[in-house]
Amino acid sequence: MKASIRYLSLLFCSLLGACDAQRASPAATGTARVDGTRIAAADQEPGSWMSHGRTYGEQRFSPLKNIDAQTVGKLGLAWTYKLDVDRATEATPIVVDGVMYVTGAYSIVSALDPVSGKELWKFDPKVPRDTDRQGCCDVANRGVAVWKGRVYVGAYDGRLIALDARSGQPVWEVDTVLDHQRSYTVTGAPRVIKDKVVIGNGGAEFGVRGYVTAYDAATGKQVWRFFTVPGDPSKPPENKAMEIALPTWKGDRWWKDGGGGGGTAWDSMAYDPALDLLYIGTGNASLWNRATRSPGGGDNLFVSSIVAIRPDTGDYVWHYQTTPADTWDYTATQHIVLADLQIADKPRKVLMQAPKNGFFYVIDRETGELISAQKFAPANWASSVDLKTGRPVETAVADWTKEPKLISPGPLGAHNWQPMSFNPQTGLVYIPMQEAAALYVPDAKQRFTGKGTWHMGTQPIAFPENDAKALQGIMDLHKGHLIAWDPVAQKEVWRQSYVTVWNGGTLSTAGNLVFQGTADGRFVAYSADKGEKLWETPANTGVMAGPISYSIDGEQYVSVAAGWGGAFPVILGGLSEPAKVRPEARVLTYKLGGTAALPTPKALPARQPEPPAFTPEPKKVARGRDLYNAHCGMCHGPNAIAGSVLPDLRYLSAEKHGIFAGILAGAYAQKGMPSFMDVLAAEDVDSIHHYLVKRAQDLQGELAVAADKIEPPRP
């Protein structure tokens, strides 16, 4: 009888189009009955988290306040759920109608009971495990969208899949990839607007043309596609937007040698129902080096831009370019937040973004007019933004196209994909800010050479070898902070500092709280107004994703998907050592009085196997170093100094040394190690092996001196 009453209650709520999660059955396999009316009225359902940023405006603010500055000290673990793959965990869970939907690495979707963490169903899109090579920054997925009884997930290999929310069974599947000769991926969460599922793609470092596509939510049929950069310059532009963009590119090297121009829209979107405008953030140009990419100059629209388009048609309305002629990998794909602010005694409908380039932008979201821009982080590439022209004032140090330059921010950015949040009660934005300078070294000879190969116009990343002091100096350039930013006054209000970069996204709540996970394996709550640390708990792993809060039957929960990975520990390898964490992927959910126990962390790996006894040939070692950094270092760490996510190849066993050539030929493809024989010859493989043996022997000597060193995982 109770079940029947509860079902009728859910049905009644569905018909009204508004049903608080706290009224839903935590045991039910809810049907995600979400539509635009319901998302637009999200504050009427404070217990639900129905879309990626909770609201269309992506503020990531929860109106719930049972957990507040006075009670947060009683917060305890309610439950944990182990995700399948211990790799980059970047998803924001969705909680609606009594069910949580969350993704892990390789785009695997789980539906969970949000009270107990019990698995209701799981869907594995079977992304080939050797697709790692096709993307820049690990096999991450940032979450799903739900709409009218369906769950939508973008698979890493480029598919968009609609699932039945009740069963997890596929309803339809489409291939979003424009050209399979290019390395397109999907890591972002879809958004659903007016019965259209909108998704972008990644791949700018690999030479692709960026775009955003809308598909009919019911059928999967493509409705429109908005290209972010022009196509083949020998052909007429496809539409008005491309007519605007094409003259800002010079020559044709960006198309022939750069592989497509870049500008991929791989993450951030927001929507204003009143203005009926969809805002997308676009990525960096391809190649990075603008002198190689577009000789003769040009702003290269619409890379590193915020673009407003009509969600019904994909028609261009306006744009603002945060970094004209981007040459530093300064994406504008970072979190976009919409808010109504009182500026100069006038109410303004604004869009806010803190992109990689280190400036915080406040923009009129109706017209695209720049209202203000100030540095929120150290940035030596530009002195300021000219409010009359909207353009940055570049400094002398900015141009690295002729000689190496140490520039801040570097490619990690002053703020990366980890979402910021806005609290309308404090009026503050909470930003996972970071200091991460980098040395840019030009490589003007670089050309597009095919799928699965990085194309940046820079020399491969390389670190000092056998020089602990120099390596420590590079680590010291990487500092992480949580800052509270006043967007009206354009100034910092408070900050908390961390041991390194790559700390998690933020959640702010009506309980005067800000929640954030950290790179060094903690989950922390601060007072939103003053930044005082009020509570923290161990997470056993680095926490990067944005937390959420929801309520069921009057009980408030805070939940975060935890798990280390992504660009910093993978691409920069050993620089992530100060975090001292391992990749352990879980959903962690807390409530007042929670008493669940966090499972014991993974055991430390075995000691380094004995390296091969032969003496590597110096010429092969030198050649192998360059080949390794160009083809292997982006996953296994520059100079064979890995992070804790992927295997450190200095720890190869005798067996793996014996079959090294076979491994690079694809013997371990199903374990996630792709073949490289399309770009490496037999003598290249031999040189890389000599280099790795030398590095293993170097490490053996280091470990003899420092026997208590925490070691990366062996393959």
Residues that are catalytic: 329
Asked if the peptide bond before residue 409 counts as cis, ω within 30 degrees of 0, the response is yes
Q: Mapping DSSP to helix (H, G, I), strand (E, B) and coil, where does residue 469 land?
A: helix
Residue 203, CA distances (Å) to 137, 262, 449 in order: 10, 7, 14
Give the C-alpha separation, 567 to 412, whole Å. 8
DSSP letters, 168-228, are: --EEEEEE--S-TTS--B--SPPEEETTEEEEE-B-GGG--B-EEEEEETTT--EEEEEES
Query: SS3 for 429?
Result: strand
φ/ψ of 325, rounded to 5, equals: 55, 40
Copy the structure tokens of residue 260. 């497509």
CB contact set of 192 (below 8 Å; sequence gap of 6+)? 34, 145, 146, 147, 152, 198, 217
Per this entry, what is the length of the chain? 715
* CA–CA dist 414, 115 (Å, integer): 36
CB 309, CB 278: distance < 8 Å: yes
Q: How far is the CA of 535 from the CAs of 67, 551, 583, in angstroms?
A: 12, 20, 23
Helix residue ranges, H only, 488-617: 567-571
H helices then E strands: how many in the chain?
Answer: 12, 37
Contact 413, 331 (CB under 8 A): yes
**Cα 140 from chain centroid (whole Å):** 8
3-state helix, strand, coil in the chain (%, to 5): 20, 30, 50
Tokens of 581: 């964490």
In this structure, are residues 555 and 591 in contact, taking their beta carbons and an 8 Å threshold? yes
Based on the number of CB atoms within 10 Å of its own CB, is 71 exposed (0-12), middle (13-18) or buried (19 or more)? middle
> Which amino acid belongs to residue 654?
A
Contact 64, 46 (CB under 8 A): yes
* Neighbour-count burial of 692, counting CB atoms closer than 10 A to its CB (0-12 exposed, 13-18 middle, 19+ buried): buried
CB-based contacts of 72, cutoff 8 Å, min separation 6: 511, 513, 525, 534, 535
664 contact partners, CB below 8 Å, separation of at least 6:
675, 676, 677, 680, 685, 688
Q: Tell me how far apart the alpha carbons of residues 435 and 499 are, in angstroms, rounded to a whole number.
A: 11
DSSP collapsed to 3 states, 285-321: ECCCCHHHHCCCCCCCCCCCEEEEECCCCCCEEEEEE
Q: 287: cis peptide before it, omega within 30°?
A: yes
